[in-house]
Structure 1
Amino acid sequence: MSQNVEQASETKKKQEEENAIESSGIARVIPSATLDKFACFKWLALGVEDFKKAKFVSTFYGVIFTLIPIGIFLLVQASDFYLVIFPAMICFMLIGPYLAAGLYDVAWQFEKKRKPSLRHSLKAMSRNAVNEWGFGLVLMLLMIFWLRVASIIHALYPSYLDPTFFNIWPFLTLGTIVGAGFVTLVFFISAFTQPILLERKVDLATAVLTSMNAVWRNKIPMLIWACVIGFSVFLGFVTFFVAFIVIMPVLGYATWHGYIETIETKRERKFV
């Protein structure tokens, strides 16, 4: 008898934890589906097909995503301030979801069996402008806050020490841990926020909490997806950003397909 009571209590507690975001009372949370552990690889395959079907538009956005890190790299070289490369990489990952709005629009047009165009995709951010720019502001504030934290960590480094790996590894470790925390937070709030705002007339709080709830309910599949994104970004950096011409559009399209599969709708969605 007592064992049944304990099991019922544990089940209730687990349900409360899973529904903590949905029952927060802050905003409406759109229900999410339960994903297969390796669902992200299907999204990637669909993203590759979208790239092939819209090579010009995809390459246009891919070049933009390539020029941004190149600009960061040249800025670091010009300033001779190499420790800033780590927060700069985090900044690139912070603003990436916002800049991908045009790519989401391309995948959406394919879903509606329309031919995507560059002009149409560039107008994507105007559909829910107030909340979309609000989301951009949130990302910008997080980026600025991270830069300030990174500056404080750098200020702790004694100026009289040579910048050898033995001397700087504690600061690199601390910066990596703090940076990982920021990236995790941004991943939670941005995994599906931009696609939601692009397609639906909802407020920013609803979109953010829906994204957080979807990630929280699908921890393992989304962890694998986060690792895929992280590896893709790493691959882009080790190829001196050239790989971003293909990687970033494919990730953008894959994110849209992930949104279709994860965030529930009244009508059944189809992959194309």
Structure 2
Amino acid sequence: MSHQFKETPENAITQSGIARVIPCKELEVGDPIKWLSLALRDALRTPVLTAIYGVIFAIIPWFIMYLVEMTGWHLVILPAIVCFMLLGPFLAAGLYDISWELEKGHKPTFMHSLRAMRRNAVNEWGFGILLMVMMIFWLRVASLIHALYPPYSENTLETLLPFLFLGSIVGAVFSIGMLFITAFTQPILMERKVDLATAVLTSVNAVWVNKVPMLIWGAIIFSAVAIGYITGFVGFIVLMPLIGYASWHAYIDAISTKRARKFV
């Protein structure tokens, strides 16, 4: 299904004057399901590379949880989940490269995917620093919530519930904000040699213009992360590569080009 080109409407984002905003397309509500189907196709075409990245994505949260167990701060589990979601777009660059190579008719390789960060190195590493700053900010907020927890209370569901609820609300708001910032920034920087401000503002605008399908997409990502944690991170081996591939196809559908892409 081709998407209708949509001139970026005038809003606070496009009129900010910080950077130019690349026009977006109008997405359909069912597009997130289509992105997942395309992601499954990519995964089946590259089973070895998919498995390698899947294992990497499984090891990272396992290590985070290991640190949580070592420190005994069980209330940082929710911040750890959000941190993983923050780092996900940065770490998924290799998966974007695999889908991009398949669209070009090339045979993807692991080394080629590792070099993906070099295409727009300065701005892509700047994006990584931005994610780290946001992660540190969230950890500070989480530490404040943890500090409010009475040290003399027993770790029962009744005593933990208010803080879990507060952490969930704050985490949800923060995650939605990060969805705006990270949805398309990384693939924009990979495919186009633009500055970081242009990529971020374009991502924010595209999500704002397509609120409903992008919120559905955000819910799918959150569900995948939740399933991964419920399954002891084993689910990440399959789910995170699918999310990475699908994110690339989401970008292709959402962000306009002046001329039609000719991959082959």
> Structure 2 length normalisation: TM-score?
0.94
Is residue 180 of structure 1 aligned with residue 172 of structure 2?
Answer: yes
d(CA) in 2 for partners of 1:20, 1:268: 28
d(CA) in 2 for partners of 1:78, 1:71: 10
Per the alignment, do residues 164 and 116 of structure 1 end up closer, same or farther by CA in structure 2, a change over 3 Å counting? Answer: same
Aligned residues with identical type, % of pairs: 60
Give yes or no for contact 2:58–2:236 (8 Å, CA) kept in 1: yes
Give yes or no for contact 1:260–1:269 (8 Å, CA) kept in 2: no
Is residue 211 of structure 1 aligned with residue 203 of structure 2?
Answer: yes
Which whole-Å deviations, capped at 9, do the CAs of 1:106-126 have from their partners, x for residues lacking one? 000011111111010000001
Q: Which residue of 2 aligns with 1:25?
A: 17
Larger-gyration structure (1/2): 1
How far off its partner does 1:246 sit?
A: 1.0
1:100 to 69, 92, 100: 92
Per the alignment, do residues 88 and 41 of structure 1 end up closer, same or farther by CA in structure 2, a change over 3 Å counting? Answer: same
Task: Report the RMSD for the aligned CA atoms in angstroms.
Answer: 1.7
How far off its partner does 1:159 sit?
A: 1.1
2:229 to 234, 237, 261: 237
d(CA) in 2 for partners of 1:196, 1:91: 22
2:103 to 102, 105, 111: 111
d(CA) in 2 for partners of 1:270, 1:165: 56
d(CA) in 1 for partners of 2:138, 2:118: 28
Give yes or no for contact 1:18–1:217 (8 Å, CA) kept in 2: no
Which whole-Å deviations, capped at 9, do the CAs of 1:39-66 have from their partners, x for residues lacking one? 0100000000000111111111111100
How far off its partner does 1:269 sit?
A: 4.0
2:53 to 58, 61, 64: 61
Q: Which residue of 1 aligns with 2:33?
A: 41
d(CA) in 2 for partners of 1:122, 1:16: 33
Per the alignment, do residues 270 and 17 of structure 1 end up closer, same or farther by CA in structure 2, a change over 3 Å counting? Answer: closer
How far off its partner does 1:75 sit?
A: 1.3
d(CA) in 2 for partners of 1:87, 1:163: 18
Is residue 228 of structure 1 aligned with residue 215 of structure 2?
Answer: no
Which whole-Å deviations, capped at 9, do the CAs of 1:162-195 have from their partners, x for residues lacking one? 1211112111111111111111111100000000
How far off its partner does 1:265 sit?
A: 0.6
1:135 to 127, 146, 156: 127
1:253 to 236, 242, 245: 245
Structure 2 SS opposite 1:135: helix
Q: Which residue of 2 aligns with 1:161?
A: 153
Give yes or no for contact 2:8–2:24 (8 Å, CA) kept in 1: no
Q: Which residue of 2 aligns with 1:8?
A: none
Q: Which residue of 1 aligns with 2:139?
A: 147
d(CA) in 2 for partners of 1:238, 1:163: 20
Structure 2 SS opposite 1:240: coil
d(CA) in 1 for partners of 2:263, 2:223: 25
Give yes or no for contact 2:27–2:210 (8 Å, CA) kept in 1: yes
Give yes or no for contact 1:257–1:271 (8 Å, CA) kept in 2: no
How far off its partner does 1:270 sit?
A: 7.6
How far off its partner does 1:21 sit?
A: 1.1
Give yes or no for contact 2:32–2:216 (8 Å, CA) kept in 1: yes
Q: Which letter does structure 2 place at the counterpart of 1:122? A: L
Structure 2 SS opposite 1:33: strand
Give yes or no for contact 2:105–2:263 (8 Å, CA) kept in 1: no
Give yes or no for contact 2:8–2:23 (8 Å, CA) kept in 1: no
Q: Which residue of 2 aligns with 1:11?
A: none
Structure 1: which 5+ runs fail to align? 1-14
2:182 to 190, 193, 213: 190
d(CA) in 2 for partners of 1:261, 1:269: 11
Per the alignment, do residues 81 and 131 of structure 1 end up closer, same or farther by CA in structure 2, a change over 3 Å counting? Answer: same
Per the alignment, do residues 162 and 270 of structure 1 end up closer, same or farther by CA in structure 2, a change over 3 Å counting? Answer: farther
d(CA) in 2 for partners of 1:19, 1:248: 34
How far off its partner does 1:17 sit?
A: 7.7
> Structure 1 length normalisation: TM-score?
0.91
